[in-house]
Amino acid sequence: MDYNFDEIIDRKNTSSVKYDMRNEIFKNRDVIPMWLADMDFRTPDFIMDALRRRLDHEILGYSYIPDTCNEAVAGWLLRRHGWKIQPSWIGFSPGVVPALNLLVLAFTNPGDKIIVQPPVYFPFFSSIRNHGRIQVNNPLIYEDHSYSMDLSGLKSKIDDRTKMLFLCSPHNPTGNVWPRDVLEKLADICLKNNIIIVSDEIHADLVYEPFKHIPTASISDEIANNTITCMSPSKTFNLAGLSVSYLVIPNPGLRRRYLEILDHIHVGAGNIFGFVAMEAAYKSGDLWVNRLLHYLKGNIMLINDFIHKHIPEIHVIHTQATYLVWLDCHGLGLDHKGLNEFMIRKAGLGLSDGLLFGEEGRGFQRINTGCSRYILNEAMLKLERAAAKFINNNRTFL
Ligand SMILES: Cc1ncc(COP(=O)(O)O)c(C=O)c1O
């Protein structure tokens, strides 16, 4: 079966956040939308067929997550990541961000401290602050255009109110795949200090060779016991509109407490189409994901080559995972407002403002390359034209 990722599908007027909220976000409904982490590819046949089969039954009453779905999750994690889990360790959530919020409520108290490593996916911040917990920043180290974790900084930030750490693995927005030794050291610090690791691994399937995703909890039984892993088919198969995700919680005490809070707010039943799609994706999605990774890698190479050759003022951070690419735009010499104006008004691109990901993201923009190569080329040409004009004007001015 061949999949056509070059196909361009009109997504306008489908209540698509990425397309139909451009005016609200950018005050411009014509920008090429390359912001939200949502891909433009057609949902694969094996998922659509499973959804149609379920729809054809024509009764959509209360439902629950079937064992076959949890078995499909376990099968996928073993095949794709070499991680052997028990289906009974799985807990449902209507999304990873809801899971982060529920975990904060379940395992910390107001005034407790939770560590994050910015620049990082910004709902990490709100999941902490919205509940009166204290966000402690342990920023990544940025050196020679690449990022690493500050493990000695981490130790110095811990005190007896520190109860949880949000890990983003692979890391959004920098595209880092964390190596085993780094995860081991991080987990060891957390174990020694009774800090629960919440490992957001939503991008685990989107890793480019030779890099390899290591599930934090797969490192040792002791680490598994102290780690709650949040995963979902929503990035890999672009199913965010189905509100389905899951947690892997090997520790029975932590699992019981999570399921209790899920039950209290009565969202544990989920959405029948989410379960059907997730099971189909994890049973039949290997080939599609392999092809997707090949296509996305081509897109990322295109961006790298194009920007390196034509817009040397922007530096593309090496992407090891995800279809999100982090652009260091300091070389354009613009302030925060100027950079956003440049991307939106001059280049006609709707990217993610780097500052959203924390102060460390100032001067950066994140671009979503999960689109057809034709659109990506268009975007690059628009960026080149805008940059050439801007740089020429500035030279004349100087
Ligand atoms: C690291 C990370 N976690 C969570 C999410 C969103 O998860 P959900 O839509 O399941 O809440 C995203 C989406 O971009 C993400 O990048």
Query: In CATH, which of 2.130.10.10, 3.30.70.1560, 3.40.640.10, 3.40.50.1980 is domain 59-284?
Result: 3.40.640.10
DSSP code at position 115: E
Question: Which residue has the least CA distance to atom 4 on ligand 1?
Answer: 96
The residue-averaged pLDDT of 321-345 equals 97
Report domain extents, the chain.
Answer: 17-44+286-387, 59-284
For residue 304, report the distance from its CA to the centre of ligand 1, in Å.
25
The tens digit of pLDDT for each residue in 70-102 reads: 999 999 999 999 999 999 999 999 999 999 999
Pocket lining: 127 vs ligand 1, CB cutoff 6 Å: no
* Cis status, amide bond into 123, omega within 30 of 0: no
pLDDT at 268: 87
The residue-averaged pLDDT of 369-374 equals 98
For residue 234, report the distance from its CA to the centre of ligand 1, in Å.
8
Distances (CA, A) of 126 to 104, 135, 158, 345, 382: 11, 9, 20, 29, 34
For residue 198, report the distance from its CA to the centre of ligand 1, in Å.
13
Pocket lining: 168 vs ligand 1, CB cutoff 6 Å: yes
The tens digit of pLDDT for each residue in 225-271 reads: 999 999 999 999 999 999 999 999 999 999 999 999 999 999 888 89
Number of the ligand 1 atom closest to the C-alpha atom of 120: 1
CB atoms within 10 A of CB 159: 9
pLDDT at 196: 98
Site to substitute for ligand 1 among 235, 244, 352, most atoms within 8 A of C-beta: 235
| End-to-end C-alpha distance for the chain, whole angstroms | 57
The residue-averaged pLDDT of 365-373 equals 98
Phi/psi zone of residue 66: left (φ > 0), alpha (ψ -120 to 50 degrees), beta?
Answer: beta
The band of 392, judged by pLDDT with boundaries at 50, 70 and 90, is confident
The band of 144, judged by pLDDT with boundaries at 50, 70 and 90, is very high
Domain covering 17-44+286-387: architecture = Alpha-Beta Complex (3.90)
